[in-house]
Structure 1
């Protein structure tokens, strides 16, 4: 028996006898055990501790890159590489490890062919297209199809994944349940989802929500639904915007843009011809406000002293004009224009009056006053020494009537006769016995008072006035005895006489064996009156006969002009045949760039027709043209409306500065130092319009050195 106390086993310092060999902390102890033999001695040599070391193992289809290391200590990692198309069989690194009393590589370094593994059967919500194996080589593909509420890469319902050269699938072949983020979507105010909870909303679940101010839910939704594409509707909230509202009767006077945001306001001012201004506000249900412009109209203005001569209607629109002509008893005409402030213009008719007419020879016997109104009459009676009375009437051209007083009619002296009267301003006279009146037209005659043309009374044996002979005349020589006088016969052109004189015998003119009508006879055949021409007359006195070689001239009536010949000649009893035609005078409408026709507007006008024009906006004036033979007559003048520059003491011009501005041109002013603000003036027909106002800046309100 071996005495453990006596028989001591001598070992190295790095060896501990107590315990089991596999619990050694420093290598192998050599022999696994020593025992006491029958001789009372320990069998074998005392054990020695050897350091734990691992050598480089052979690796099929692989190798260790670092060939300089042949031994590894405990816990060292073996870094090895597998050949192409191979990979380590274990994902864990191989370490030098004491296993029992030995040192081994754990796990064993080994290489296996690269493959991709597949879990069969597939997980819930995942299925594979036509698959009966679970190992795939690099390059092989697999279609993964997800269930109704599952998805795979990029939220797809299916995907094709490929076994890569590293043995991994390009897309993990597992479908996961469709879920939606708990994070509150942008612009959502109330959100029925807890961001901090672990529960994620699944496909088909709905959550109530509301949007922030200035945003509205898409399509009016009140619930969000979790779908494969996330929360719908997408986006849950849309910014409230309003497209610019174009209003035909108004212009935007605030910032003008195509789209406005929630609660933005747009101010409008009604256009010319309308009145008012209003503001629209962009809200959730669109524009709110009352976009109202009232059309400017003017009710017809009835003026007691004038009548409307243009289109007469009950109501007129902005800028329409109405022409008035003053009634009888008044003079003048005028135009009123419908504008924003009502009718503008000077509706003035001047009453026709006449100052009393003082007549030296007569007195007023009706109402005597200084001034008389239109159509009033004033009666006058002639003063002493005159006779009669008369009436004058006040009219547009002044007093009308015959203001005449006649002196008392004196009775004339009639040599060899006598006169009676006057009766009603007329005297009657005759000759004494043995005498006759010179004219031989009766035994008495009459004359008006103060008429100096009384006939002489001649003896009955004397010849008086020569008779009238057709187609000629008789000329009595002067200073011949009226008893033995002869009258010389002078025939008209185209006539001749066989005798040259007509003798006076026994107080009578007696031709020699010939009738007085045959004294002058024609030298050629006469023509009957010339042919009638429509719308024309002959410019000579009418005659039953016209001498040969005499001519007549036709004259067209007013409003017609002559075409062809205007004169024809009588030739031995026949008139020349010529084309004599009167054609009506017309004028084509005259278009004037600066003016519009305000009377009847037609394409062609007749002779003497008048056309009234009114100058267009930007010009002033009105005029009338008359169609005459030489065309349109009248002065067609429109004066362009301009405004001289307005100098304002408190402000400077900041737009184009010039001396004269045209109609509708605008000038911008900026108030000078000490004042604030700016304003705009516009050149119009009535001059500059606008509010040229500068507001004084209250400097004292901001001066800390001034006491209150």
Structure 2
């Protein structure tokens, strides 16, 4: 009986040991992100442990082993440490790589603005556990070499050491010479000038090609103050002014402009225009205009006419409809009014005639043909008198003007 008792006791011991092991919590069961592993592989029931975040993260967990399971008593999830602003560099900018915030693990890459170059050997900064590494890079302006010219050329600008964007301007000392090359250069982002330093040469001009025209007495080159003679083809005209050779080329660009006439008035007093809607006409093109009822063509008494654009860019007649009016009749036989106001078609004007003349109507009327009646005044005359038993002496007429006199004598009768 003693052997079974020993076996039973050993079994109880094994059971107790296995139950105790069932209450333990294992390190491998801790699955929180970005945490450092705990010290021991297992922990007994009731034990507590602090779970720290790995480098670059902040936060922690307090865990307790309860019957083989980990229970949280305090939870502050691990989050990336934040860095302050990495710092701006004058004349440059940076770009954030590997994230959208200034937190552990991200990098900012610096880049200089156009015309500036980085003098620092490292162009980036990374957010570490202790903050940003490296220093803020430095951007300095690009420099161009000093400029040297000969004694014929003067220049303005920073000639000793140009910086990006600086402009140097060149002029010739002599007014009879011109810059042979670029009169202005600038310092580029590469540290080189945009062009070579120019020299001076005598002022000359060459005749340019002239569309629709030809140069008269063409020369290989023209010296300063020389003029360029040219003529234009038919239906083209020269620009105003005479082209003269100067430092910057011809003072007037020698060009031939197409001759055209502009129809300025297309609605006032107009009844019809053929072609309709066209206002610009080339040389020798025509337009037909018909004026409305109370209008006629300016300077004429016509209401319809064809107008032609001449080779000099002028109309052969003025293509404008004007209101029909009547001015001072300039009739020396009219005494009053002394001055006639301009009147429109159909308007009337009272008037009187000079002594010895009488009105042919009570009022004068403005018509297309001027004032009517025409004439406005007629001379007052008397018909030759018929005097019975008398004879007019001297030359006789069919009628006599006012204040005229005649002499006559009576016949003698003999009584038988």
Compute the TM-score of the two structures, normalised by the length of structure 1: 0.32
Superposed displacement of residue 252, structure 1: 0.9
Does structure 2 conserve the Cα–Cα contact (< 8 Å) formed by 1:207 and 1:224? yes
Indicate yes or no: 2:266 matched with 1:174: no
RMSD: 5.1
- CA distance in 1: counterparts of 2:199 and 2:267, whole angstroms: 52
Among 215, 223, 226, the residue aligned to 1:140:
226
Show the counterpart of 2:310: 227
Show the counterpart of 2:390: 308
- Say if 1:276 and 1:146 are closer, same or farther in 2 by CA, change over 3 A: closer
Indicate yes or no: 2:170 matched with 1:87: no
Superposed displacement of residue 96, structure 1: 1.9
Deviations 1:45-72 (A, max 9, x none): xx985431234412454232457x6333
Does structure 1 conserve the Cα–Cα contact (< 8 Å) formed by 2:147 and 2:160? no
Show the counterpart of 2:286: 206
- CA distance in 1: counterparts of 2:387 and 2:146, whole angstroms: 123
Does structure 2 conserve the Cα–Cα contact (< 8 Å) formed by 1:82 and 1:88? no
Indicate yes or no: 2:214 matched with 1:127: yes
Deviations 1:140-159 (A, max 9, x none): 332111000111123xxxx8
- 1:634-649 counterparts in 2 under 5 A? none
Does structure 2 conserve the Cα–Cα contact (< 8 Å) formed by 1:277 and 1:293? no
Superposed displacement of residue 288, structure 1: 3.7
- Say if 1:171 and 1:48 are closer, same or farther in 2 by CA, change over 3 A: closer
- Say if 1:218 and 1:323 are closer, same or farther in 2 by CA, change over 3 A: closer
- CA distance in 2: counterparts of 1:48 and 1:269, whole angstroms: 105
Does structure 1 conserve the Cα–Cα contact (< 8 Å) formed by 2:351 and 2:364? yes
- Say if 1:235 and 1:62 are closer, same or farther in 2 by CA, change over 3 A: same
Does structure 2 conserve the Cα–Cα contact (< 8 Å) formed by 1:267 and 1:277? no
Show the counterpart of 2:204: 115
- CA distance in 2: counterparts of 1:316 and 1:191, whole angstroms: 53
- Say if 1:237 and 1:108 are closer, same or farther in 2 by CA, change over 3 A: same
- 1:469-488 counterparts in 2 under 5 A? none
Superposed displacement of residue 90, structure 1: 3.5
Show the counterpart of 1:269: 353
Deviations 1:248-302 (A, max 9, x none): xxx3132346997775858353743x65543555654455424245632264254
- 1:166-565 counterparts in 2 under 5 A? 166-184=247-265, 189=270, 192=273, 200-210=280-290, 216-218=297-299, 222-236=305-319, 244=329, 246=331, 251-256=333-338, 267-269=351-353, 271-272=355-356, 276-278=359-361, 280-281=364-365, 283-291=367-375, 292-293=378-379, 295-297=381-383, 299-302=385-388, 307-308=389-390, 310-311=392-393, 317=400, 319-321=404-406
**3-state DSSP of counterpart to 2:336:** coil
- Say if 1:188 and 1:316 are closer, same or farther in 2 by CA, change over 3 A: closer
**3-state DSSP of counterpart to 2:314:** strand
- CA distance in 1: counterparts of 2:214 and 2:315, whole angstroms: 27
- CA distance in 2: counterparts of 1:163 and 1:177, whole angstroms: 25
Does structure 2 conserve the Cα–Cα contact (< 8 Å) formed by 1:126 and 1:175? yes
Does structure 2 conserve the Cα–Cα contact (< 8 Å) formed by 1:214 and 1:262? no
Deviations 1:56-89 (A, max 9, x none): 412454232457x633332232244333212363
Indicate yes or no: 2:194 matched with 1:106: yes
- CA distance in 2: counterparts of 1:24 and 1:243, whole angstroms: 80
Does structure 1 conserve the Cα–Cα contact (< 8 Å) formed by 2:149 and 2:197? yes
Does structure 2 conserve the Cα–Cα contact (< 8 Å) formed by 1:188 and 1:209? no
- If asked which structure has higher relative contact order (CA below 8 Å, sep 6+), I would say 2
Among 164, 174, 191, the residue aligned to 1:74:
164
In our comparison, the structure showing a higher alpha carbon Rg is: 1
Q: Number of residue pairs matched? A: 285
Does structure 1 conserve the Cα–Cα contact (< 8 Å) formed by 2:205 and 2:223? yes
- CA distance in 2: counterparts of 1:168 and 1:162, whole angstroms: 8
Does structure 1 conserve the Cα–Cα contact (< 8 Å) formed by 2:381 and 2:399? no
- CA distance in 2: counterparts of 1:90 and 1:72, whole angstroms: 17
**3-state DSSP of counterpart to 2:309:** strand
Does structure 1 conserve the Cα–Cα contact (< 8 Å) formed by 2:170 and 2:179? no
Deviations 1:644-685 (A, max 9, x none): xxxxxxxxxxxxxxxxxxxxxxxxxxxxxxxxxxxxxxxxxx
Deviations 1:682-708 (A, max 9, x none): xxxxxxxxxxxxxxxxxxxxxxxxxxx
- CA distance in 2: counterparts of 1:138 and 1:223, whole angstroms: 49
Indicate yes or no: 2:26 matched with 1:26: no
Show the counterpart of 1:608: none
